[in-house]
Structure 1
Amino acid sequence: MNPKAISSCVLWNSLIAIVLLATLPEVSAAIEGTLPSASTFLQDLLDRYGENDTLTLYQLKSLLNRVDVGVGSDNGSRTDPNNRNLSKCFSSSQLFAVHNLSESIPIDRAAFKEFCPTVLQQLENRACQVENQENEENEETEEGKPTPAEVWGYGFLCVTVISLCSLVGASVVPFMKKTFYKRLLLYFIALAIGTLYSNALFQLIPEAFGFNPLEDYYVSKSAVVFGGFYLFFFVEKILKMVLKQKDQNGPGHSHYKPEKYISKSDLEEGLTEKLQNGDLSHVAPHQNNDLGCRTLAVDEKEVQASQSTCYWLKGTQYSDIGTLAWMITLSDGLHNFIDGLAIGASFTVSVFQGISTSIAILCEEFPHELGDFVILLNAGMSIQQALFFNFVSACCCYLGLAFGILAGSHFSANWIFALAGGMFLYIALADMFPEMNEVSKGEDGEVGNSLVVFAIQNAGLLTGFTIMLLLTMYSGQIQLG
């Protein structure tokens, strides 16, 4: 390349660079002229939230609310110079106390400049963001709670339906000797076990710990807990049926006839026969010292000598009624009171929770009241007396409902849920489960009957489990009214 041309090119490039450097300050000044000054940001806040370049505490609090700062709980505005915990969300009154701001003194530019780093620090640690989320969740929970009219209305309706179960006992007395009666009773007992156990696992116990089925995803784990219980029940029943069949087909036989004891089912059958024949006006217990069990006897003269002032309560004199009847009545009343307590507390949380608990209690009360009715008759009460006292004990549920609603409305219902959850587990596993095995004993004679009984037990348990599982899974979609 020509050296002269190279020199010309270098000269032009140098000239262009000098021109650009000369115009750069003017370009920078033009760019800076389009930006606001630093003081205008402060002035904008003072103009929009204050007056005359000053702020009051109320106006400053409005600014803090706008940026979600100062929403923490106000546990006092006293400052502690040794407290270095700045990771919490402070309330607006606490922030004002830190800077010695008061309502009587307006906040000028200098004081507002000093206050701004505090706002920046609270925004940076995001403590108030968590506090805001908790406040929003609490507001949503309050909005989702039923009204007092719904709580009392639905609660009273459910308790009334449950209490009517106490009057069902007399209607099934004529069918006690029928085969389908025991199988129907067996199904309802298994249904009660399934609903009570599942209600405790899916709703009461998680609610006591503050879990939400839609957020904490505990439903699958609770289902596995029920699965462990059901697996052992299934395996145990299969092994018993197989081993029992093997023993019956084995070579060994007993050479003596076992002593015949009077069982509870024998008493029920004898009682039913008298009721069907219409010759049972009074049942009085007599203690057999050799066998240690009660037998039935009819005493027409004692019935005629009854001095009851109420027609419906005519029958046995109260002094002749066995102690067992009064124990059953009192314990049943206490049991129903706790049931009402659980229902009332559940309805204060949500209508869905109350209905779920009511369904579990209803499934448990139906077979329970049938058994209580027979026990009261065996203990010496007439049919009218048994109906009356069974209904009186059932009405204790209303008292428990009122206590549960009042306690759940003014205090945390979690403690009541914890108590009810433990009670439901005990009733299902320690009370109803042995009763189911006792009722099924008379049906376990042949292989065919054993399979039918086993199928009925499985149907009841799985039905109760399915009801509570579906109610828990779709609780968010259940809307009433």
Structure 2
Amino acid sequence: MKFHQAPQSLLFMLLCFLGTASRARASSLGPPAITAASFLEDLMHHYGEADTLTLQQLKALLNRLDVGVGRDNITQPELEQRNLSRCFSSADLFAAHNFSDQSRIGRSEFQEFCPTILQQLDSRACTLENQENEEDEQTEEGKPSAVEVWGYGLLCVTVISLCSLVGASVVPFMKKTFYKRLLLYFIALAIGTLYSNALFQLIPEAFGFNPLEDYYVSKSAVVFGGFYLFFFTEKILKMLLKQKDEHHHGHSHYVSETLPSKKDQEEGVTEKLQNGDLDHMIPQHLNRDLEGKAPGMDEKVIVGSLSVQDLQASQSACYWIKGVHYSDIGTLAWMITLSDGLHNFIDGLAIGASFTVSVFQGISTSVAILCEEFPHELGDFVILLNAGMSIQQALFFNFLSACCCYLGLAFGILAGSHFSANWIFALAGGMFLYIALADMFPEMNEVCREDERSGSILIPFVIQNLGLLTGFTIMLVLTMYSGQIQIG
């Protein structure tokens, strides 16, 4: 009996030893190996319920993978429909697998659907589509409301239009030295803001660039740097050559007679008009010719840039108070009024289109136009007075042309809301470049030369640089921090 029990005890001990060894080996190998079904179980557990998926749950998985974001209900040619490289919508993918709204996707159906997901991920067709959708959503969220567009637009245009009334307040100071230097600064400021606004905002906006994503600001700054470098070098060379020329001719024994410039003659005419002294402005033979002229003749004798008709219209002692007959006003005044009205209309067009994109863009464009309009309106006011208008008439027509900006604002808002505003930005960018470089830059040089003849050469040079760099800095800061500046 004991002999038979011994082998059983040995067998039990052997089994215990083998069990202990197998457990030790299992513990040394770690947790059990992951099977292929484990991944499917994890997805079904995370997105589904009871080992099945609804279409909404499957669509949530597709959205997380950025798959199935193509546009629905797009009529395309048959060849395009067979193209697997395009981004399909989730409805197209479900229809390809005969899934309906009431379908419950089990393990086998989900395994058949997985190659579709893998193919769309591999083609990367939905990557660009998803970026465009996000940009469209951000654009729609960032666009101002109609109330903000019209409210801010009308406010900015009103402030700009009021600049046309500033001209009358500076008439008493026109002969002062500080007036010319202040005007020089504002002209340089206008050049800097207009040129920089075109480089940093209008032209890039016309091409669809985003300053926060396309990183074009530094390159635009280099463009301005090239312009400023040549401007600075040219001014320095002219200053050095002028000093050398003055030193070389300083010991000359002959006195050179310099004829007054056309602008000096016109300023003399203006001064005579303001003082009411016109007797010495028209030669005696011209007076005799005018007195003996037939009433039907409409010929005009020109003195400088003003006609005798314009000069006679100002002979009244109450020239500055009473109105002048419209027939006595020179043609130059009407040309200035019409061209200024067209100019203001395009300004309003740019402002309106800018506000449809964002409030910040609209205010940036308005700042550039405001800096340009201030010295521009001062010059227009003086021209209208010299052309024979009274102060009241000059103010009225200057303000009337400024009000054309309201009409341009309305057209710009309507066009920017229903069509692409990029074309308007392209037009405004070209206009800003022309006004800054072809219109206001020669005007700045002319004012600078007048100041140099009456005083120091260095002061006008410093004022020019301050104005240009101030305008550049304003637009650079507004562009760089456009994402942090929230208005409205």
Same fold (TM over 0.5): yes
Out of 332, 336, 341, the residue aligned to residue 344 of structure 2 is: 336
Matched residue SS, 1:212: coil
Q: Residue 374 of structure 1: CA displacement?
A: 1.1
| Cα distance change on mapping 1:479 and 1:273 into 2, 3 Å | farther
| Cα distance change on mapping 1:435 and 1:345 into 2, 3 Å | same
| Aligned-partner Cα distance in 1 for 2:67–2:158 | 50
Q: Residue 120 of structure 1: CA displacement?
A: 2.5
| Aligned-partner Cα distance in 2 for 1:444–1:32 | 91
CA contact (8 A) 1:313 1:385 kept: no
Q: Residue 196 of structure 1: CA displacement?
A: 0.5
| Cα distance change on mapping 1:63 and 1:476 into 2, 3 Å | closer
| Aligned-partner Cα distance in 2 for 1:443–1:470 | 31
Partner deviation per Cα, 1:340-372 (whole Å, 9 max, x = no partner): 111111122222211111111001000100111
Aligned residue identity for 2:420: S
Structure 1 gaps of 5+ residues are: 1-14, 307-311
Partner deviation per Cα, 1:437-480 (whole Å, 9 max, x = no partner): 1112222227x521111111111111111111111122222223
TM-score normalised by structure 2 residue count: 0.79
| Cα distance change on mapping 1:82 and 1:130 into 2, 3 Å | closer
| Aligned-partner Cα distance in 1 for 2:260–2:34 | 106
**Partner residue of 1:132?**
130
TM-score normalised by structure 1 residue count: 0.80
| Aligned-partner Cα distance in 2 for 1:268–1:316 | 21
Q: Residue 104 of structure 1: CA displacement?
A: 9.0
Alignment length (residue pairs): 451
2:257 counterpart of 1:257: yes
Match runs of 1:385-396 below 5 Å? 385-396=393-404
Match runs of 1:10-409 below 5 Å? 38=37, 41=40, 45=44, 61=59, 64-74=62-72, 76=74, 80=78, 85-99=83-97, 113-251=111-249, 257-261=257-261, 263-272=262-271, 274-275=273-274, 277=275, 287-288=300-301, 294=307, 297-299=311-313, 315-409=323-417
Q: Residue 392 of structure 1: CA displacement?
A: 0.7
Q: Residue 270 of structure 1: CA displacement?
A: 3.9
| Aligned-partner Cα distance in 2 for 1:33–1:453 | 86
Match runs of 1:447-458 below 5 Å? 449-458=456-465
| Aligned-partner Cα distance in 1 for 2:71–2:317 | 71
Out of 464, 470, 478, the residue aligned to residue 471 of structure 2 is: 464
| Cα distance change on mapping 1:65 and 1:259 into 2, 3 Å | closer
| Cα distance change on mapping 1:290 and 1:160 into 2, 3 Å | closer
Matched residue SS, 2:194: helix
Partner deviation per Cα, 1:155-190 (whole Å, 9 max, x = no partner): 111111100000011111111111111111111111
2:442 counterpart of 1:427: no
C-alpha RMSD of matched pairs (Å) = 4.1
| Aligned-partner Cα distance in 1 for 2:43–2:221 | 59
Larger displacement relative to structure 2 (382-391 or 314-323): 314-323
Matched residue SS, 1:177: coil
Matched residue SS, 1:297: helix
Q: Residue 375 of structure 1: CA displacement?
A: 1.1
Identical residues among aligned pairs (%):
70
Q: Residue 47 of structure 1: CA displacement?
A: 11
| Cα distance change on mapping 1:469 and 1:43 into 2, 3 Å | closer
Partner deviation per Cα, 1:3-56 (whole Å, 9 max, x = no partner): xxxxxxxxxxxx99xx79x979xx8xxx9999789499489859965999785x
| Aligned-partner Cα distance in 1 for 2:464–2:112 | 74
